[in-house]
Chain A
C-alpha cells in the first residue's frame, strides 16, 4: 500500500457562467503550483498565478511540444515530432520559421485596413437578423458567421463549405470526442485543405493560402497544417467571444448602459471582456524540458504543466483593483487572454477588430436586445476547449 494521496482534478465546474471555477482562487492563494489530473486524464502540474503563467509561457525550459506524460514520469527522448505545419506545437527555431511567414498578414496596420470589410460583413449579418423575427439564436445568426466569413475571405476558403469544416472543427475542440472521432475530423479537415492547396497552386487567388503556396517556403503537408490551424483558430475563439460577451453584457446592465452611453469605451471594453471571460478555459499545456523549481515545487523533466489563463486573469497580482469584477471603463490591462510568450495569439489584432465591429454594431442596431430564455437555460460550452455558449436565444 502506498500512501500517496490521490491527485486533485483540474477544476472545471463553474458556479457562475462568467467566472472560472471558484477553486482557482484557493489554488492561487494556497497551492500556486498544484499536482493535478487534467480533464483528459493526463497528470501534471497546474499553475494559477499571473506571474507564474507568464513564466511558464515565456521560459524556453517549457516546451510547446505536447508529450503525453507516461506513468512514472519519463523523458523527452521519444517524443513524437509535431505534425507538419502545426507550429503551435513547436519551439524556436522551428516555430519562428512559420510565424515569420505569417506575421506580416496580421499586423496592426493590416487589420486596420481590413476594418471596413469586417464592418460590411457585420452589417450584412445584422440586416439578415433584423429581417427575421425574434427570437433567433445569436450564435448561428451572427456570432459564428462573422468570424467564419472573415477568416474564409482572408485565407481563401470557400464559405459555402462551412457546414463541414465547422462540424469538424467543433469535434476537434470538444473535450469528450473519442480518439476515433478526433482522428476522423482531423483527417477530413486536412484532406479538405489539401484540395484547396492543390487548387491554389493551379490557380492562385488573392488570399493568404495562395500567397503561402506561391512563396515556395512550405511543403504541401506544412501548408495543410498551417491552413487547418488558421481556419480553426480563426472562427471558434472569436465566435465564442462575440456570443459570450453579448450574454455577459446583457447580464450586467450597468456595464451595458455605460458602454451604450459612451461608445468610445468600446476598445477598453473589448480588452476587459477578453480578460474577464478568457474563453481558452482549461489553459495552455507545456512540457518541462529539464527539472524546474517553481514556488518550491520540483517539476521534473518531461512533466506536463498547464498554465491557467483564466485564473491568471483573475489574480490580484495582475489587477489589484477587484479582478473579479467586470468593469468596461478599466484601463487596458496586460491580460493573458491571448496567451503569452512566442505563441501569443497570431490573430489577436484580427480578433480585436472583429469583436469591436461586431459588438458596436450589434448594440447599436438592437437597442432592446435581450435574452429570449432564462439565463440558466443557456447551454454553456463547459465541454469544449473554447468556452462560450452552444446557443444564445435572443429577441428584441
Chain B
C-alpha cells in the first residue's frame, strides 16, 4: 500500500491521527499531517482507508 498526502490541502483537523495513530501524526508547529509510515503493514489498511475517508480536506490518497 502506498499513501500520498497533500500538505497543501491539509487543514490540520487531526481526524487521521484519531483513525490511524500508527501511520499519521501532526507537526507541532502548524498541525499539518505527517506520514509516519508511507508503506504500513497490510493489517493497517482498514484504519488507513478510514483515515482517508474521514479526512475533511481530502488530503490523503491510498494506492493499493
Contacts and interface: CB of A to CB of B under 8 A. Distances in A.
Chains A and B form a bound pair: yes
Interface in B1-50: 9, 11-15, 17-18, 25-32, 50
A109 B12 CA distance: 12
Interface string A193-234: 000000000000000000000000000000000000000000
Interface residues of A, number: 27
B54 A334 contact: yes
B56 A58 contact: yes
B62 interface: no
B30 A103 contact: yes
A265 interface: no
Interface string A156-169: 00000000000000
Given A348-B13, A348-B14, A107 B56 contact: no
Nearest to B31: A103
A341 B15 CA distance: 12
B60 to A, nearest CB: 13
A107 B28 CA distance: 7
Contacts of A107: 12, 14, 17, 26-28, 31
Interface string A84-124: 00000000000010011011111111100000000000000
A348 to B, nearest CB: 6
Contact of A109 (B28, B57, B58): B28
B9 to A, nearest CB: 8
Contacts of B18: 108, 332
Contacts of B17: 107-108
Nearest to B11: A342
Contacts of B9: 342
A343 B57 CA distance: 9
Nearest to B50: A334
Contacts of B32: 100, 103
A102 B32 CA distance: 11
A104 B27 CA distance: 7
A228 B4 CA distance: 36
A381 interface: no
Nearest to A100: B30
A349 to B, nearest CB: 5
A332 B25 CA distance: 19
A341 B57 contact: yes
Contacts of A57: 56
A339 B31 contact: no
A222 B9 CA distance: 23
A334 B11 contact: no
B5 to A, nearest CB: 15
Contacts of B54: 334
A113 to B, nearest CB: 11
Contacts of A99: 11-12
A104 B56 contact: no
Interface of B: 9, 11-15, 17-18, 25-32, 50, 53-54, 56-58
7 contacts: A99-B12, A103-B11, A104-B12, A105-B31, A107-B17, A108-B18, A344-B56
Given A104-B30, A342-B9, 6 more contacts: A99-B11, A100-B12, A107-B31, A110-B28, A345-B13, A348-B15
Closest 8 CB pairs of A and B: A103-B12, A103-B31, A344-B56, A107-B26, A108-B14, A108-B17, A104-B30, A107-B31
